[in-house]
Chains A and B, each alone.
Chain A
């Protein structure tokens, strides 16, 4: 087990995880648990829980976590670099082509077709998160407070134009404080 193997492992995770987020999890599991035995399945489950509770992309979180677990800080740096290197190369190539040909009618057409698709995918992610917040991950409970927080947040962001990060923080503090104060299940 070497730093280089760790680098290669996260290079593959970075290169083959399309669609982001949860789509990368099976790939990370295969590389880290099944192929390399760097983590047990229960450690991997902990990793998922923590990755979901902390900000940032799951692949980058996993790289840091696994890297530190194996080699300390230098492991974390190597794994993170491996994980983002494919992104840098691929995005640089696509970005170059985009800047060079964006006035070409065919590429303009392709992008015009992609823009509505992007909006649709963002909407789909938003609805999924809303449903999980209100009905729970199993969609079998109902949380009226989540709807209230949602409406307040929407009001302050869309109408009052309050900074969204401030809205996020206040929702966490006020909403979370309310759940604790009322002794509601968390």
Chain B
């Protein structure tokens, strides 16, 4: 990776982090949009693998995801650049706000801005998830489509712990690979 690409990586991570209201899934959606669709630095399948790893590790998904994406595109320097890009915006903003946080918390313009932005956050996540879901369906492997539907039902309607969902799906995927391997050998 060239020097100017590291700057680009830093700038992208910084911008994404500065605008990720609404948690880790937003930044993951934005990263997919930026690195997979626009820059084509990572392919979609790899991106989903990285998100799965980020999700299975402790700590903030946004930080984990940025380390993995940074490493993927630029090795260890890329990972370091990404970490700084990701943690600097919240660091600067929170440092600034902690001086006068009551004024900030009760500011009507801040409240209105956030309220106006909230539906757009949902729109980002949903537009990314539609593409991702369609690509899983297009592979025409019923087994994985069933995993997707079941995983959705248990996380959304039954509030099952995410770690449990991840572990179960990992095991289901592993068994399926073993089964296919055995069948292939015969």
Q: Which residues of B contact A76 (CB under 8 A)?
A: 91, 94-95
CB-based A-B contact count at 8 angstroms: 352
Q: Which residues of B contact A16 (CB under 8 A)?
A: 58
Q: With contacts A57-B62, A88-B83, A106-B177 known, is A68 near B166, CB below 8 A?
A: no
A18 touches B162 (CB 8 A): yes
Please report which residues of chain A, range 126-143, place their CB below 8 angstroms from some CB of chain B when the two chains form the complex. 126-130, 132-134
Q: Give the shortest distance, in Å, between B174 (CB) and chain A (any CB).
A: 5
A132 to B114, CA, bound (A): 13
Q: Which residues of B contact A57 (CB under 8 A)?
A: 23-24, 60-63, 90
A149 to B121, CA, bound (A): 10
Q: Which residues of A contact B64 (CB under 8 A)?
A: 87, 90-91
Q: Give the shortest distance, in Å, between B173 (CB) and chain A (any CB).
A: 2
Residue with the highest number of chain A CB atoms closer than 10 Å, among B28, B119, B127: B119
A112 touches B124 (CB 8 A): no
Q: Which residues of B contact A60 (CB under 8 A)?
A: 60, 63, 87, 90-91
Interface residues of B, count at CB 8 A: 103
B120 touches A124 (CB 8 A): no
Please report which residues of chain B, range 9-38, place their CB below 8 angstroms from some CB of chain A when the two chains form the complex. 15-25, 28-30, 33
**Chain A: interface size category:** 35 or more
Q: Which residues of B contact A71 (CB under 8 A)?
A: none
Q: With contacts A56-B93, A68-B94, A118-B51 known, is A90 near B58, CB below 8 A?
A: yes
Q: Which residues of B contact A55 (CB under 8 A)?
A: 17-21, 89-90, 93
Judge if B169 is at the interface, Cβ distance under 8 Å.
yes
Please report which residues of chain A, range 86-101, place their CB below 8 angstroms from some CB of chain B when the two chains form the complex. 86-88, 90-92, 94-95, 98
Q: Which residues of B contact A24 (CB under 8 A)?
A: 60
B87 touches A110 (CB 8 A): no
Please report which residues of chain B, range 146-186, place their CB below 8 angstroms from some CB of chain A when the two chains form the complex. 147-152, 155-156, 161-163, 165-166, 169-178, 180-181
> A residues near B, CB below 8 A?
14-24, 46, 49-50, 53-61, 64-65, 68-69, 73, 76, 80, 83-84, 86-88, 90-92, 94-95, 98, 102, 105-106, 108-130, 132-134, 146-147, 149-151, 153-154, 157-158, 164-165, 167-169, 171-180, 186
> B residues near A, CB below 8 A?
15-25, 28-30, 33, 45, 48-49, 51-64, 67-68, 71, 79, 83, 87, 89-91, 93-95, 97-98, 101-102, 104-105, 108-130, 132-133, 136, 144-145, 147-152, 155-156, 161-163, 165-166, 169-178, 180-181
Question: Can you name 14 A-B pairs with beta carbons within 8 Å?
Answer: A50-B94, A53-B104, A54-B21, A55-B89, A68-B98, A80-B91, A119-B136, A122-B25, A127-B122, A153-B120, A153-B123, A169-B117, A176-B112, A179-B116
